Structure 1
């Protein structure tokens, strides 16, 4: 085995630091801790953890009390240390105290989560890193709750959410993941019995319904107007399909089905996601012919390659060959040159893509970066088409003022042409 280089031996890694020895590392930590309050506090808590739960709990309680009462603003310079300290406290409660004294850890995780509004007020520029600490704490809490009495766990969860519904709307998914569906069902019943017309409360109940596997309860958290929107009907229908109840899925989707519009009463184009779940519903209901018809109509309307691939994959005999030919013809003749070419390139149908470029290259309107990517795939077998795409992309780049990109594409085209 080759000996590590001198530069490698100087890197700050666990392996290299271990070579310094415990005594020297301890001296360094003590020296640094004299200038870093957060590090000194962390070391003291780690020492307490090594002595057992009875020593760790008072240290945790002191830190929690400080979080509960502190009001000083945390500026951008202090923020990284503040977040490290916050997450270290969470980790000590969940990972150290949680191993030795679960009840004590559970009590302190509840307290930790309750510090969220106070800690948030202290941060001038709160971001995802701050929220992630509490999100992880909620997951830690759920893991501990999973081992407790279901009724007690459910009641505690609902009471905490009733006190801070918006926060728990964000945390519930993480907290409920390790919790048994039976416990979630108890919590769902308790939550439904509370009148809480506050922001976040219905979202919390939605999470409970998901965890309990109660699709009807999930749907009941939406009003009739919301259920008639494609995005909500899709979420409800997906859950019914996952539960093996296609009839209910179909009923949910029909509430948001495309409606006639205009003087002629033509149906509006369906939402793509709604249409995708409608296809899944038709398959689940055994109406495969109707599902195929929707796939084909959807491709003709949207020119989405994945829709066409799904259609072809379900054909038998030589029908798939005929269908592919029709798909390629539709793509090659599509009014949107770039969209049609994208279908052929994604299939991939490089010969047909090359023919399209050579036939319609003069009317090509294509993003320069996309032209470069397509040309890279065509270059070996169809160099003339690749060159033409690159020149079209160079012209488009020039028109938008991207001169460096235009020059690069031109040089690539000339390299193909042998100039």
Structure 2
């Protein structure tokens, strides 16, 4: 009877360490040749080792490529795309933000800027793409909480460009989005934001976060005030 080895073949960090760096590198190169997401992730990790400037550049290259693409994404490829987006978001939040939070916020805003184009290109009957961006909202507003003036202006500009999307993401931010940041964003927006329904809705969401009841009430139209849901909301306030 063959003698059983005491070395476990169960996958674990400790077990893989026994393979050695050279063998692991060979396996990753081999697997990456047929897995575009893995190859991009490895590039991101190498860029992170080189420093935040290199990492920001590597992320920006991918965001630029995604923004420029026009090919339709089928439901079969949707999961791979969302995995790619999530990997880049995590690198922004987990690796870039601790080093350069202002730059990380600017890069994450560019990540969110992908949504309009992707929503047109991606077959997303289940709403998985929308959910991926909504899940990222707490990260965005967490970074905004500590952002300096210049970085926050980038976010103000983004809100001004796409009020409808950002109104939804504000609702998804949860406790990550506090009243002080909401007030800073409100102060950065001018009166032109009131000129469209989407802009007024955005301002109302911000006013709600900032605890500004007077502003919130001023943004409710007579038609909205007649709605049972809005009337109940007004009564609660």
Alignment of 1:29-178 (within 5 A): 29-125=28-124, 127-149=126-148, 152=150, 155-175=153-173, 177-178=175-176
> What CA RMSD, in Å, does the superposition of the two structures yield over aligned residues?
2.7
Which of the numbers 201, 204, 207 marks the counterpart of 1:203? 201
- CA distance in structure 2 between the partners assigned to 1:74 and 1:182 by the alignment: 39
Q: Displacement, 1:40?
A: 0.9
Contact 1:120 1:126 (C-alpha < 8 Å) held by counterparts = no
Q: 181, 184, 187: which is aligned to 2:182?
A: 184
Aligned ranges 1:224-263 → 2 under 5 Å? 224-238=222-236, 240=237
Query: Which ranges of structure 1 fall in alignment gaps of 5 or more residues?
Result: 1-5, 241-419
State the distance in 2 between where 1:234 and 1:48 align: 52
Q: Distance in 2 between matches of 1:77 and 1:31?
A: 24
* TM-score (normalised: structure 2): 0.83
* Alpha-carbon distance in 1 for matches of 2:70, 2:200: 31
RCO higher in 1 or 2 (8 Å CA, sep ≥ 6)?
A: 2
CA gap of 1:195–1:209, structure 2 versus 1, over 3 A, is: closer
Q: TM-score, normalised by structure 1?
A: 0.50
Q: Distance in 2 between matches of 1:76 and 1:180?
A: 36
Matches within 5 A, 1:363-402: none
Taking the TM superposition and a 5 Å limit, the aligned residue runs for 1:237-316 are 237-238=235-236, 240=237
Give distance in 2, aligned partners of 1:11 and 1:40: 25
Deviates more, 1:97-106 or 1:188-197: 188-197
**CA separation of 1:56/1:183 partners in 2, compared to 1, >3 Å: closer, same or farther?**
closer
Indicate if the aligned counterparts of 2:78 and 2:123 stay in contact, CA closer than 8 A.
no
| Structure 1 residue 208, shift from structure 2 partner | 0.5
Report the Cα offset of residue 154 of structure 1.
5.5
| Aligned residue pairs, count | 231
Counterparts in 2 of 1:139 and 1:72: CA distance versus 1, 3 Å: same
Q: 1:174 to 1:192 in 2, by over 3 A?
A: farther
Structure showing greater radius of gyration is 1
The change in CA–CA distance for 1:195 and 1:77 in structure 2 (over 3 A counts) is closer
SS at match of 1:35: coil
1:319 corresponds to: none
Distance change in 2, residues 1:44/1:195 (3 Å) = closer
